[in-house]
């Protein structure tokens, strides 16, 4: 195998978060570009984080992908702080989904690093905006969401902290779905987040990529209802498709396997991430090729980067990429604190691999 086989839990955890950030920042330069456009301007791919793109971001700046991932990360940090301080009776403070939603509102309103206070994000998905406006009114994660039929990748891109920091299998599945549903409550989105985080959860336990994907297939199968035996369940089918795809082939020939041309449909982003995970090449080469596919380049690369970082560990991310990332130091610091807390207090170390 080309990737490092034995990174520590801390290295994998930091790698997962910085993998999201690096994929996001690398892909943002070519966001909205088609495969043909990218092949003409970057025939061998964009190999450095240079900024620019549709919104002229500085090199290493977070887009909404990393910003919202940060919101979930901070929610877990706040939750752990309450536990460490003995505040076990603070019910609202222990609702990670609500904490995450409140951070999303802060991000939406401009109370966010790197942005003028009060200034909204330059780029936000329609489902995300509708879901956050609903949460602002209800203050209830169970009564938000953009509704059935909205199946973009806007919750899959941010869900990875749950796979890293929720160490009980059942709660990890439930929280993945609840945090998705704040904005993306369509089952294709909520179940994709649960399946994706199952992969992360397994990789952190040093399962192989194939074993991790098999665990995700079990979760998808258990959560999807009313499946047609001929066509298969949507999320399960997307995962299986990912195991048959070649990232290198899609980078060279385009996203012909996808009706939506990899432009933001959650199931296509999930398939690309699974294909990236199964690709034995170094993380850098795989992420460069994910961006070459075109379409929703930053989000596809962020989602794939999270799995690759969990697989290979932080040292697999090129140093020249890492040093540019806007939230690198914060992500590293918080992850170290949270992983140390997990290692001291994890009551789910022997958690079984029962499905849900």
Q: Residues annotated in the binding site for Mg(2+), as ranges?
A: 63-65, 296, 298-299
3-state SS class at 83: helix
Q: Give the dihedral sign, CA 269/274/275/280.
A: positive
> Which residue from 211, 113, 114, 195 is spatially nearest to 160, judged by alpha carbons?
195
Residue 109 tokens, joined: 């309103």
Give the Cα separation of 307 and 273 in Å (integer).
Answer: 7
Tabulate helix, strand, coil % of the chain (nearest 5). Answer: 60, 0, 35
Give the Cα separation of 91 and 115 in Å (integer).
Answer: 32
Which residue ranges are tagged as binding site? 63-65, 296, 298-299
Q: What are the residues facing 265 on neighbouring strands?
A: 152
Give the Cα separation of 316 and 181 in Å (integer).
Answer: 32
Helix residue ranges, H only, 224-282: 234-244, 247-253, 266-278
């Amino acid at each position: 195998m080309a990737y490092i086989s034995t990174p520590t839990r801390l290295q994998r955890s930091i790698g997962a978060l910085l993998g999201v950030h690096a994929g996001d920042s690398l892909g943002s330069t070519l966001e909205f570009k088609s495969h043909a456009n990218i092949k003409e301007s970057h025939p061998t791919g964009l190999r450095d984080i240079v900024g620019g793109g549709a919104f002229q971001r500085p090199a290493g700046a977070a887009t909404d992908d990393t910003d919202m991932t940060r919101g979930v990360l901070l929610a877990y940090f706040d939750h752990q702080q309450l536990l460490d301080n003995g505040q076990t009776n603070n019910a609202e403070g222990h609702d990670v989904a609500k904490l995450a939603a409140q951070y999303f509102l802060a991000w939406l309103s401009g109370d966010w690093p790197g942005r003028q206070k009060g200034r909204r994000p330059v780029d936000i998905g329609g489902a995300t905006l509708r879901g956050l406006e609903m949460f602002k009114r209800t203050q209830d994660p169970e009564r938000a969401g953009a509704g059935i039929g909205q199946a973009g990748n806007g919750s899959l891109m941010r869900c990875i902290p749950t796979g890293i920091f929720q160490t009980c299998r059942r709660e990890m599945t439930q929280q993945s779905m609840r945090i998705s549903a704040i904005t993306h409550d369509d089952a294709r989105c909520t179940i994709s987040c649960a399946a994706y985080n199952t992969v992360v959860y397994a990789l952190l336990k040093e399962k192989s990529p194939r074993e991790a994907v098999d665990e995700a297939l079990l979760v998808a199968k258990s959560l999807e209802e009313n499946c047609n035996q001929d066509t298969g369940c949507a999320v399960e089918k997307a995962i299986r498709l990912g195991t048959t795809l070649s990232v290198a082939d899609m980078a060279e020939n385009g996203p012909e396997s996808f009706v939506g041309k990899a432009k933001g449909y959650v199931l296509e982003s999930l398939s690309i991430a699974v294909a990236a995970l199964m690709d034995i090449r170094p993380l850098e080469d795989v992420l460069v090729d994910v961006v070459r596919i075109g379409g929703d380049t930053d989000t596809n690369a962020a989602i794939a980067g999270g799995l690759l970082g969990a697989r290979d560990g932080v040292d697999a991310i090129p140093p020249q990429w890492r040093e540019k990332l806007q939230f690198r130091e914060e992500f590293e610091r918080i992850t170290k604190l949270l992983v140390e807390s997990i290692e001291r207090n994890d009551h789910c170390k022997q958690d079984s691999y029962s499905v849900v």
